[in-house]
Amino acid sequence: MSEHTHDHDHDHHTHELWPDGFWEQPPRLGTGLEGHGAVDDFNQGRKPGPIFVNRRAEGGFSGIQTFAKLPVCLTPEDLVAGEMDVAICGVPWDSTATGRTGTNHGPLAIRMCDYKGGYGRPHFELETHVDALEELNVCDYGDAPIKVGNTPATFEGIRKFIGTIVESDTIPIIMGGDHAITWPCATAVADHYGYGKVGIVHFDAHADTGADMPGSLASHGTPMRKLIESGAVPGKNFVQVGLRGYWPEQETLDWMDEQQMRTHFMAEIIHDGFDKVLQRAVDQALDQADHLYVSLDVDVTDPAFAPGTGTPEPGGLTSINVLTAVRRLAAEVGIVAMDVVEVSPPYDDRGQITSLLANRAIRETLTGIAMRRQGLTDPHYAHPYALGQGLDSQGNPRNQIFRDEK
C-alpha cells in the first residue's frame, strides 16, 4: 500500500475530510411537551378512559391487533382516567439504521405475531404463577408520530410522545424502531425524573457509543453517547451486557472508560457464565441511580434465536437468557421504562421468532413488574409447583405420584 493511499484511508476513517462543523449537533433535544402529537381531533370531546376495541377473550389471530388484545389509550387523559400502570407503544422508525433496514415494521410485527391474545384470557405465567394482566392496568398507546425524512423533528416528537406517558405516572414499554430512538425516549424519562437520576441497563451486541456515523446526524450506533453528552444519563449510570464482534475500536472503548461506563462483554459471559454476569449487572443497576430504564436490542441474542435484525452478530445470548434477565430486573430492581428495539421483520424467518422473542420479552417484563408489586423480588424466584414441588390434596408430591404410577 502506498503512503498516499494509507494517508487517505486514515483521513477518511477519522472524518478529517469533512468540513468544519459538519458533525456538529445540538447538545440535547428540546424541552416541554407542547404539541406532543398524542391528541388529535378524532379524540376531542369524548369521555377519557381506555377503549376496548376487541371482544372479551378473542385470540391473538382474531379481532383488532393491539398488543395482547389490550385496550387502547390515545391521550394522556385516557392514561390518567384508566389509572394505567403500563402503556405499550410503538416507534416505527428506521431512518437512522446503518445496516439492514426494516425496523420501522417492528411494532406492527411484534403486535401481530402473537397467538395468545390477552385481556379476557388468562395471562398466567407458569414459572411464577403470576398473571400480570390481572395485577396491572395495561394499555396499548399506539405509535409515536413519525415525520419521514426529518430526523430532528421526529426525535423531538418521540421525546414529547413518551413524555406524555411518564408525566401520567405510567411506565412506557416501547417497541422500536432502530436503536437511535433510545436517545429521545430515555431523554423523556430523564426529563421527568431528573438528569443524572436515571440509569440504563443496555443489552446489546454493540456499545452504541459512536461519536458519529457517516452521513447521519443521529444513528442507531450513537444513542448512548448522545444521552451521556447531553447529561441526561451519565456514563456511570450505564450497565451494558452482551457486547461482542468487531466494534467499537480502542478509541471509543477508552472514551467509555473515561465516562465510567460498566460493560460486560460476551467474553466475560462465556468465561464466568451468564448467571454470574447478570448478578453483577443487577448489583450495578441497584447502586447506580434512583430509576432504571432497560434497553433491549434483540441483536444481543444470537442470530439463531433472533435472525430478524439489522446488524446480526453471531455468538450471543439465548432466548432464555434474555427473558430471564428482563423479568428479573423488573422484579428485583424495578423499572420506570423499557424499550425493545431492532426487530426487522423482512429478515425474520417464517416462524417470526425474532418478533416472538420481542413480544415475550415485553410479557416477561410485565410479569416482573407484577411480581415486584406482589413482593416477589427474590433473584431466583419460581413457584414451587413449577419446580416439581407442588402437592396434591393428600399432601403428596405430585412428581412422586407420577413416578409411582409409572
Which residues of the chain are under the pLDDT cut of 50? 1-15, 18, 22-23, 401-406
Q: Which letter, b or e, does each residue of 58-93 get, where b requires 16 or more Cβ atoms within 10 Å of its Cβ?
A: bebeeeebbbbbbbbbbbbbbbbebebbbbbbbbbb
| In the chain, where the domains are located | 47-375
Instruction: For domain 47-375, give the CATH number.
Output: 3.40.800.10
Q: Name the pTM for this structure.
A: 0.88
Residue in this structure with the C-alpha cell 430492581, named with its chain if needed: 333
Which pLDDT value is given to residue 392? Answer: 59
Question: What are 59-80's pLDDT values in tens digits?
Answer: 788 889 999 999 999 999 999 9
Tell me the C-alpha distance between 230 and 215, whole Å.
Answer: 21
Which pLDDT value is given to residue 401? Answer: 47
Amino acid at residue number 123: H
Residue 124 pairs in a beta bridge with 131
Which pLDDT value is given to residue 8? Answer: 41
Our CA dihedral for 373, 343, 154, 66, rounded to 10 degrees, sits at -60
Q: Prior bond to 32 cis, omega within 30?
A: no
DSSP assignments along 217-270, one per residue: SS-TTSHHHHHHHHTSS-GGGEEEEEE-SS-S-HHHHHHHHHTT-EEEEHHHHH
Which pLDDT value is given to residue 119? Answer: 72
Which pLDDT value is given to residue 36? Answer: 76
Which pLDDT value is given to residue 211? Answer: 84
Tell me the C-alpha distance between 154 and 160, whole Å.
Answer: 10
Question: What are 316-350's pLDDT values in tens digits?
Answer: 999 999 999 999 999 999 999 999 999 999 999 99
Q: Where are the beta strands (DSSP E) in 38-169?
A: 86-91, 124-125, 130-131, 138-143
